[in-house]
Amino acid sequence: MIAELGQVFLVAALASAFLQFLGGTSSLFINIENIEKFVERITAFQTLSLVICFGLLTTAFLQDDFSVLYVASNSNTALPTGYKIAAVWGGHEGSLLLWVLILSIWTLFLSRDTALKSSPELRIMALSILGLISLGFLVFILYTSNPFDRILPSPLQGRGLNPLLQDPALVIHPPTLYAGYVGLAVPFSLAVSSLLTINNHQWAKHARSWTVLSWMFLTGGIALGSWWAYYELGWGGWWFWDPVENASLMPWFLATALMHSLIISEKRGLFNGFSTLLAITAFSLSLLGTFLVRSGVLISVHSFASDPQRGLFILVLLAFFSGSALIIYSIKQKKNEQETVHPLSRESLLLLNNVFLCASAGLVLIGTIYPLILEMLDLGKISVGPPYFNFVILFPFIPLLMTIGVAVFSNWNQGPKNLMKKLSPIILIAILLGAMVPFVYGWASLLTLVGVSLAFWTILTGVSPLIKNRFSINKNLIYMPMILGHIGLGLMILGITVTSSYGITFDDSMSIEQSSNVGDYEFKLTEIGRRNGPNYLAQYASIEISKDGEYIETVYPEKRVYDSSSMGMTEAGIEANLFRDLFIAVGEDIGGGSWSMHLQYKPLLRLIWYGPIVMMLGGFIRVFLSKKNLENYQ
């Protein structure tokens, strides 16, 4: 019964998405006042239908209803209740349902944006475009990936959830990342709507908070994914340049650029075309990301054995949405009036950094899709490894970080005054602080020195308004998003540079009572034992960590075998504080009483995740301080 009800509400959502699109578009031809209430209501109805759909699917999971194919393939009776709920988005069909659910929630909130009500044409057309996007994905779900399909005869037991996904961080990683991906549909719809209706830079004002909000989710989702990969998947790596990771990084680069470009468009009415283009590309790249993850065209940790029809469908959606948006752009976008901007004014410097961000996205894009294109043309199968990305990303990023600090000290619409006098002490302090790092950890390379100095430079210039305004909360409130955003970025860069330059990683064979030295730390294997988990059997090692003979902590890395699958899983033992991570993972019994072990020492690794948290805090302040608050302090 539940599955049939689910079908009904899925179709109801589809119908309302269609009406939302149709109603919104009709505003071009009939009096908009007649249609506003209708579009608002149908938007709410669509969201309600999808919430019910999602609730029904969750119920099917909680009731272990294995007559539903999707439940049978992603859950079983032994799964803990929390993971039964997470299993709802653990597979292809459910995660797409989550995708449209999140889209409809964003749409609902946009339809309640009071500031946007002041320009009804822009608003209704944006809602119409969001309806069309939702329609496309609902057709996709009903046509190729229906989570409510029945299986007859129904199996007595389900296949269970992929053990890799049975982890708290992975429960929230997909919804967070999706909220970010899908959230970029909002600035996209506002940009295209603006082209079709008012065709001026007013949309930028309305799109800013929405962009920052989805950027926050995207930042959080990527950081969570990286953290999960570190302790669960990757033998202690935190970024692999895996195509699917890249798929989330590219929209992030562009969302960051868009966030800054919208400031210029709103404040100065400039670069409106560039902002529009960024909004279109950012969302196109999140669709591309969905395609890369869901189509199975990639060799990736995220690829599922899947049906090529699905990939093709998403590709058609991608081509349709970005293609038509670009066509509308090329027809409608007005030529910018010739305005002269000072090359060292804030708008020029922000534009310059946006170009660097676009270049970063472009370099990552080439490395990600080049192998796919070659394969499609039958020119052989290749893969582009991390060395490519690690190398090329430096070229846009070093000048980007240099410019950031200068941009903070620049002014709108004019050149900076006494720039060198203001900046030279900061440059000096940044380099001195940077030089401390080789002093503490030892000399690594010039690149390390440059990296850490740039990190300190970003942090110092970021906090400079705080110092200038003598730490007064009132005066600084408006700068807080920028201050926190830049501090977060600086911390992250510091973490990345120090970890990559001074980290130690190696495999060793260990037997009981034997130890292995990792830098200054000693890891001693004291015991190998077995224990039972709720739905798995684990073999654990007990490892005593000490430094200079002083005991620090005992960690228990595990090797798990889940009942539902033959797959082994590695749970690492991690001892971490702000300054360093110590990591050990059990390999396997290699005979002769020895075990293979993976050992790691990573200084300042935590900053790679704390940085994004600080950045998100900045975004949070920007979004949730009401406009009034910000204006009052201006």
Partner 1 sequence: MKENKILPRHKRFLGILATLIGVTFAIYLILTSFQSNLLYYLTPSEAITQNLDEQRSFRIGGLVEMESFKRADGSLTSRFVLTDGIESIEVNYTGILPDLFREGQGIIVTGSFDNKKLFIATEVLAKHDENYMPPKIHAAKEPAL
Q: What residues make contact with partner 1 under the rule CB under 8 A?
A: 162, 164, 233, 235, 299, 301, 303-305, 359, 362-363, 366, 370, 380-385, 387-388, 391-392, 395, 507-509, 511, 559, 565-570, 585, 587-588, 590-594, 596-598
Nearest distance, CB of residue 436 and partner 1, angstroms: 32
Which CB atom, from 205 or from 559, has the smaller least distance to partner 1?
559
Q: What single DSSP character describes residue 414? A: B
Nearest distance, CB of residue 586 and partner 1, angstroms: 9
How far the first Cα of the chain sits from its last, in Å, is 58
Residue listed under structure tokens 């224990």: 531
Question: Which residues 6+ apart lie within 8 Å of 373 measured at CB?
Answer: none
Please count the CA atoms within 13 angstroms of the CA of 103 that sit on its side-chain side: 30
Strand order in the sheet with 594-603: 504-511, 594-603, 580-589, 573-576
What tokens appear for 2 in the block?
């539940």
Report the C-alpha gap between 83 and 146 in whole angstroms: 21
Nearest distance, CB of residue 587 and partner 1, angstroms: 4
Which CB atom, from 105 or from 384, has the smaller least distance to partner 1?
384
Which CB atom, from 59 or from 514, has the smaller least distance to partner 1?
514
Which CB atom, from 341 or from 576, has the smaller least distance to partner 1?
341
Which CB atom, from 40 or from 558, has the smaller least distance to partner 1?
558
Indicate the pairing of strand 558-562 with strand 536-547: antiparallel
Nearest distance, CB of residue 89 and partner 1, angstroms: 17
Nearest distance, CB of residue 338 and partner 1, angstroms: 8
Nearest distance, CB of residue 593 and partner 1, angstroms: 7
Which CB atom, from 363 or from 459, has the smaller least distance to partner 1?
363
Q: Assess contact for 466 and 479: CB atoms under 8 A.
A: yes
Which CB atom, from 557 or from 611, has the smaller least distance to partner 1?
557
Nearest distance, CB of residue 225 and partner 1, angstroms: 14
Count how many residues are written for the chain. Answer: 634
Nearest distance, CB of residue 591 and partner 1, angstroms: 4
Q: Assess contact for 279 and 206: CB atoms under 8 A.
A: no
C-alpha dihedral, 508 to 511 to 512 to 513, nearest 10°: -60
In sequence order, the β-bridge partners of residue 560 are 538, 569
Report the C-alpha gap between 10 and 149 in whole angstroms: 12
What tokens appear for 490 in the block?
């600086």
Report the C-alpha gap between 97 and 188 in whole angstroms: 21
In sequence order, the β-bridge partners of residue 602 are 581
